[in-house]
Amino acid sequence: LLPVFQFDPQDAPNGRRNYWGYSPVSFFAPHTAYATHPDAQTAMDEFRTMVKALHRAGIEVILDVVYNHTAEGDDKGPTFAYRGLANLEYYTLEKDRAYYANYSGTGNTLNANFSIVRRMILDSLRYWVQAMHVDGFRFDLASILSRDEHGDPMANPPILWDIENDPVLAGTKL
């Protein structure tokens, strides 16, 4: 499935709407506009019902997940959560720390190997496996998960090691 995380539908050029889901606002909630009623509980219930129906039909569910950036965009973008909570920890910044590193091409880059961001990613992956019953993941711009806090590629990125060795995620397709 294309990204299903709650995303910002306004994050599109020239007044257009974003239907693709590549601007995540929350890594723990299915996009409410995909549900029959736009509330979080309905979206979760209907997502689980869909996954069960696909499994009954013999179809595995692989989610396209976006852990490389958020809908908060560049330094002029909106503040939804992470920027206001711990900007220096959640995002990779340029050396002057005034601007976001933009390895994702979307205005910001999550600092996937910082401890609290790693924990958030792992908790999110576990949530989608345990609570929503998905079978695996495709990581959008996966190479960003291998960068350190300065944006340099790492030989052994902690987040990839954590995913590989997590007992809940061990049986998922990656």
Residue 110: the pLDDT is 96
Q: Between β-strands 24-30 and 5-7, what pairing exists: parallel, antiparallel or unpaired?
A: antiparallel
Half-sphere exposure of 42 (CA within 13 A, CB side): 8
pTM (two decimals): 0.94
- Give the structural domain span for 52: 5-165
Which tokens hold the place of 17? Answer: 């709407």
H helices of the chain, in order, are 40-56, 82-90, 115-130, 158-165
Lowest mean pLDDT across 13-17, 47-51, 132-136, 151-155: 13-17
Number of structural domains the chain divides into? 1
**What is the domain-level CATH number for residue 61?**
3.20.20.80
Which range (30-34, 56-60, 141-145, 149-153) has the least confidence? 149-153
The more confidently predicted of residues 122 and 148 is 122
Q: Is residue 60 part of a domain?
A: yes
Residue 171 covered by a domain: no
3-state secondary structure of 32: helix
Establish if 87 belongs to a structural domain: yes
Number of H helices, E strands in the chain: 4, 4
In a domain, 88, yes or no: yes
172 inside domain:
no
Q: What is the mean pLDDT of residues 99-125?
A: 95
Whether 110 is in a domain gets the answer yes
In this structure, is residue 173 part of a structural domain?
no
Give the number of other Cβ atoms within 10 Å of residue 160's Cβ.
18
Q: Is residue 153 part of a domain?
A: yes
Mean pLDDT of 51-62: 99
Q: What is the predicted pLDDT for the residue at 3?
A: 94
Residue keyed to tokens 């723990």: 28
Question: Is the pLDDT confidence value at 12 over 80?
Answer: no
Q: Per mean pLDDT, which range of 18-27, 33-42, 136-145 is the poorest?
A: 18-27
Summarize the confidence of residues 2-27 as an average pLDDT: 85
